[in-house]
Structure 1
Amino acid sequence: MRTAPYIPLHTLCTLYKVERSFFKGLNDNGLIEIITIEQAPCIHHDQIKNLDAIVRLHQDLHINFEGIDTVLNLLDKITQLQEELRITKNRLRIFED
């Protein structure tokens, strides 16, 4: 059986022990996208990995939504730079051999 691609907010509220207003704030700040399916607000399952990081930043480090956005942008930039470094190292190996 195929799993549903959308997870209802009430399920996520229970799982993460947060209020629905938390998810509304994330949506308002562009950190997640809430979609209404059959009159129930839901989040696509592809956003769960990002949502885990967001919840940890908020609960463990007490970072507000703007700070979370900044941290996520910095993590994306680090990932891009690491990929560029990997590509550059691979190109340099050509000259070493």
Structure 2
Amino acid sequence: MENDQLIATEIFCTNYGIEYSFVQSLQESGLIETVVIRETQFLPVPQLQKIERVIRLYHDLDINIEGIEAIDTLLNRIDYMEKEIIALKNKLRFYEGNTY
């Protein structure tokens, strides 16, 4: 991954006012991925939207890590089903268009 697509975890934590251990907990639970380069932990920029959502769930709604894991699983399933529905609609349009 390009270094310009990474943000140091410490800088992220300082800017968002969260504990470094919170990010560690998210990484350990598999909610986010981190990259370690020369003993410094980084967050991939493409994951920032997901991390911000997790922070809002944790701080604003007071949901614990286990609850966030459950929500993340459900959101991933919804995303998968939405993609599947789009694919099925496209197939249906294809077959409906070929009727005489």
Shared topology, TM-score over 0.5? yes
Please provide the CA RMSD for this pair.
Answer: 2.0
SS at structure 2 position matched to 1:62: coil
Quick one: structure 1 residues 88 and 78, their matched pair in 2 at CA, closer, same or farther if it must change by over 3 Å?
A: same
Residue equivalent to 2:59: 59
Quick one: structure 1 residues 71 and 28, their matched pair in 2 at CA, closer, same or farther if it must change by over 3 Å?
A: same
Is 2:89 the partner of 1:95?
no
Residue equivalent to 1:78: 78
CA distance in 1, matches of 2:26, 2:77: 21
Aligned runs of 1:1-97 on 2, under 5 Å?
Answer: 4-93=4-93, 94-95=95-96
The percentage of counterpart residues that share the same residue type is: 32
1:7-54 deviations in Å (ceiling 9; x for gaps): 111111122210111111111211122332233221122221211111
Structure 1 ranges of 4+ moved more than 3 A: none
Quick one: structure 1 residues 88 and 22, their matched pair in 2 at CA, closer, same or farther if it must change by over 3 Å?
A: same
CA distance in 2, matches of 1:33, 1:89: 33
For structure 1, the 5+ residue unaligned runs are none
SS at structure 1 position matched to 2:18: coil
CA distance in 2, matches of 1:55, 1:82: 25
Aligned residues: 96
In structure 2, give the amino acid aligned to 1:59: H
CA distance in 2, matches of 1:12, 1:48: 10
CA distance in 1, matches of 2:88, 2:44: 35
TM-score (norm 1): 0.83
